[in-house]
């Protein structure tokens, strides 16, 4: 990495916070990037964030990205991150309000909206088929989970009370369960409140903790609940951070198309990463 200070913006999508860097040139080796990301995502010693987004050129869209979780691992998709990337690209005149960008999971369509503050609506690549009714043994408990890949892997559990669930214990056991080896999975715990509303808490792989919101997890929960005829589009999900994510989609038999997510994408601050932020 350069020894010069690195300009960045800090954005938050419904409580998920990201360091975004305009990096429209070749990135360092994967090993170097993993260490860089893990160091700047440390809270208390560095900038601190749930993940890092690098904006790069694309020959097939307005721009492309690399997305890294806070542990330095690169992943295909982060739905809350897509909204923040879209807002960053729009504010920096990299892309217009209506835009497309390239991810490892496919092309994302986004639109920056002036709607009770700035919100972003994104249309994500179609999810994988849903696997319903999986009996998952977690220590001395067996929970019924449902699996879907909405850009990244998610297990969804329906529970009676979100406050009585040990998210860290059950989330971590699910994340490392042999059924989802070797890559692991995210774990979502949800309560359905009516045909269009749910509440959700998520344990995120790569962050290795509960996060205030997870866009792909919220989408997974909404699609699984629809497949089980618990809800129908559109669905609003109240996240742990107190923000609401809005999801709409088309159901075609057992498949889902045109999956869209709308939520806030707020600019928190702008700054420069100094070399001292990378020290042990």
Q: What sign does the dihedral 74-272-265-225 (CA atoms) show?
A: positive
Whether the CB-CB separation of 175 and 203 falls below 8 Å is answered with yes
Distance separating alpha carbons of residues 180 and 210, to the nearest angstrom? 19
Whether the CB-CB separation of 156 and 174 falls below 8 Å is answered with no
214 catalytic, yes or no?
yes
Instruction: List the one residue out of 143, 90, 151, 77 whose CA is nearest residue 118.
Output: 90
Residues of the chain with pLDDT under 50: none
pTM of this prediction? 0.93
Under 8 Å CB-to-CB from 116, ≥6 apart: which residues?
none
Taking only the tens place, the pLDDT of each residue in 260-272 is 999 999 999 999 9
pLDDT of residue 114: 84
Taking only the tens place, the pLDDT of each residue in 153-201 is 999 999 999 999 999 999 999 999 999 999 999 999 999 999 999 999 9
What's the mean per-residue pLDDT of the chain?
Answer: 95
Taking only the tens place, the pLDDT of each residue in 106-117 is 999 999 998 777
Distance separating alpha carbons of residues 63 and 171, to the nearest angstrom? 34
Distance separating alpha carbons of residues 53 and 262, to the nearest angstrom? 19
pLDDT of residue 24: 81
Helix, coil or strand: residue 174: helix
pLDDT of residue 117: 77
pLDDT of residue 88: 98
Active-site option among 41, 84, 214, 260: 214
pLDDT of residue 111: 98
Give me the phi and psi of 198, to 5 degrees please. -145, 165
Distance separating alpha carbons of residues 252 and 103, to the nearest angstrom? 25
Distance separating alpha carbons of residues 191 and 200, to the nearest angstrom? 7
Enumerate domains of the chain plus CATH numbers: 6-124+266-278 (3.10.310.10), 131-264 (3.10.310.10)
pLDDT of residue 3: 73
Active-site option among 41, 78, 84, 260: 78
């Amino acid at each position: 990495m350069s020894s010069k200070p690195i300009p960045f913006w800090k954005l938050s999508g419904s409580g998920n916070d990201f360091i975004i860097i305009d990096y429209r040139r070749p990135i360092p080796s994967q090993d170097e990037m993993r260490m860089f990301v893990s160091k700047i995502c440390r809270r208390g010693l560095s900038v601190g964030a749930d993940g890092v987004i690098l904006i790069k050129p694309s020959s097939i869209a307005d721009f492309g990205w690399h997305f890294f979780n806070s542990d330095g691992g690169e992943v295909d998709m982060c739905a809350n991150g897509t909204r923040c990337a879209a807002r960053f690209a729009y504010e920096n005149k990299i892309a217009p309000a209506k835009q497309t960008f390239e991810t490892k999971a496919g092309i994302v369509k986004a639109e920056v909206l002036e709607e009770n503050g700035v919100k972003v609506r994104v249309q994500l690549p179609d999810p994988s088929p849903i696997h319903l009714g999986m009996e998952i043994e977690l220590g001395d408990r067996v929970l019924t989970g449902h699996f879907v890949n909405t850009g990244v892997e998610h297990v969804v559990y329906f529970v009676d009370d979100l406050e009585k669930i040990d998210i860290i214990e059950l989330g971590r056991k699910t994340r490392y369960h042999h059924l989802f080896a070797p890559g692991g999975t995210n774990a979502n715990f949800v309560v359905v409140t009516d045909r269009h509303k749910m509440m959700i808490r998520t344990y995120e792989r790569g962050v290795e903790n509960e996060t205030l919101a997870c866009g792909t997890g919220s989408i997974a929960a909404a699609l699984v609940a629809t497949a089980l005829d618990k809800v129908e589009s559109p669905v609003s999900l109240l996240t742990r951070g107190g923000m609401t994510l809005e999801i709409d989609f088309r159901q075609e038999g057992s498949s889902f198309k045109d999956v869209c997510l709308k939520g806030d994408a707020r600019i928190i601050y702008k700054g420069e990463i100094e070399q001292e932020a990378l020290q042990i």
